Amino acid sequence: MKAPPTARLFQNENMVTRRQAGEMLLVPVRNDVADVRGMLYLLPNAVAVRAWECLAEGPTFSELAEKISAEFDGERSRIEYDLTEFLDQLRSIGALQEREDGR
Q: What pLDDT does 65 receive?
A: 97
For the four alpha carbons of 66, 76, 8 and 58, in that order, the dihedral sign comes to negative
**Domain locations in the chain?**
8-95
Architecture of the domain spanning 8-95: Orthogonal Bundle (1.10)
Number of other CB atoms surrounding residue 22 within 10 Å = 5
Number of other CB atoms surrounding residue 64 within 10 Å = 23
Integer-rounded Cα Rg, in Å, for the chain is 14
Residue 101: C-alpha distances to residues 4, 16, 58, 61, 88 (Å): 12, 24, 11, 14, 21
Q: What pLDDT does 2 receive?
A: 64
Query: Over the chain, what is the mean pLDDT?
Result: 86
Question: pLDDT tens digit string along 91-100?
Answer: 988 899 999 8
Question: Rounded to 5 degrees, what are φ and ψ at 21?
Answer: 55, 40
Percent of the residues in the chain that have a pLDDT greater than 90, as a whole number: 55
User: Is 70 exceeded by the pLDDT of residue 1?
Assistant: no
Percent of the residues in the chain that have a pLDDT greater than 70, as a whole number: 84
Q: What pLDDT does 3 receive?
A: 66
Question: pLDDT tens digit string along 15-52?
Answer: 889 888 778 888 888 655 554 545 778 888 999 999 99
pLDDT-derived band at 14, boundaries 50, 70, 90: confident
